Amino acid sequence: MSTIKKPALGRGLSALLQDSNLDVMNKESSPRVGSISNILVSQIEANPFQPRTEFEKQALNELAESIKLHGIIQPITVRKVGAGKYQIISGERRVRASILAGLNEVPGYIRIAKDQDMLEMAIIENVQRENLNPMEVALSYRRLIDECTLKQEELGERVGKDRTTINNYLRLLKLPTEIQVGLRDGKLSMGHARALLAVTDPNEQLRLYEDLLRENLSVRSVESLVKQVNQSEPKAINKSSNILNAEYLKQFETIQKHLTSQYQLPVNIKTKAVGKGEVVIKFNTESEFERLMNLLQQ
């Protein structure tokens, strides 16, 4: 198992673990706080603040095979919670794989940490993993803000990201649940999701999401569709004009939404003068055009 040196985390995991206030020498003989020692797996318990609750079985088995061959290259980090009792701060996956590999003990950094510090360390350690999906990152950022009472600037310092990046992830939590699940399951990318966020109507977001799944659309294609949707939204009517009164405007919006839903394409009804106007149905692909023609001929 190779190790990759991670960028500085600001006052994140590294700083918290190096805090001299946490490196208190243990009065007991061994192992001692502040050291790297071999710890019996029977003395280690899971982190109650671990944000990750699911571990892929195949990946764990692969890691276990690697540990059998090479051992544990990167020690886990634990806090001492009692005589012969330790709680994982980071490295639960390594512990699980070590048990599968038949190990009785694992190397670990021993620290003392408060619950709040431990929660922050666990989430930061988790969010630095390279294989997290965008929703896992977004939820971790939200937890750091809500549960660790961090501001976005402070969060950025902890995880080594700028405020714009942090905000882009947090905005994903505003998407409809179905799209969030798609992000989690890899059905669309972060770029797709950011494009969908440019649409304010959740129903339109879901319609575009279904289109991109059905047509396997690229990010650029989704951005183009989003632009069309935004351009087709009814514009504010000049109050000094007699083209549409309030009741007619209500019917106008209702009909436009109905046609958009019926054809599953952006529909824009434009009025030019009393009793005159045009209905514009936009399509982006040949398959959408063919589907529209079939619907109009029914």
DSSP 74: S
The one-letter code for the residue type at 67 is I
For the CA atoms of the chain, what is the radius of gyration? 27
User: Given 3-state DSSP classes, what are the helix, strand and coil percentages for the chain, each rounded to the nearest 5?
Assistant: 50, 15, 35
Is 92 a catalytic site residue?
Answer: yes
Of the residues 54, 65, 92, 204, only one is catalytic, namely 92
The one-letter code for the residue type at 228 is Q
Q: Quick one: tokens of 69?
A: 């061959």
The one-letter code for the residue type at 260 is T
**Angle CA 62–68–69, to nearest 5:** 95
Q: How far is CA 226 from CA 104, 153, 161, 223, in A?
A: 56, 30, 28, 5
H-run or E-run covering 221: helix 219-232
How far is the C-alpha of 210 from the C-alpha of 232, rounded, in Å?
Answer: 19
Show which residues are catalytic.
92
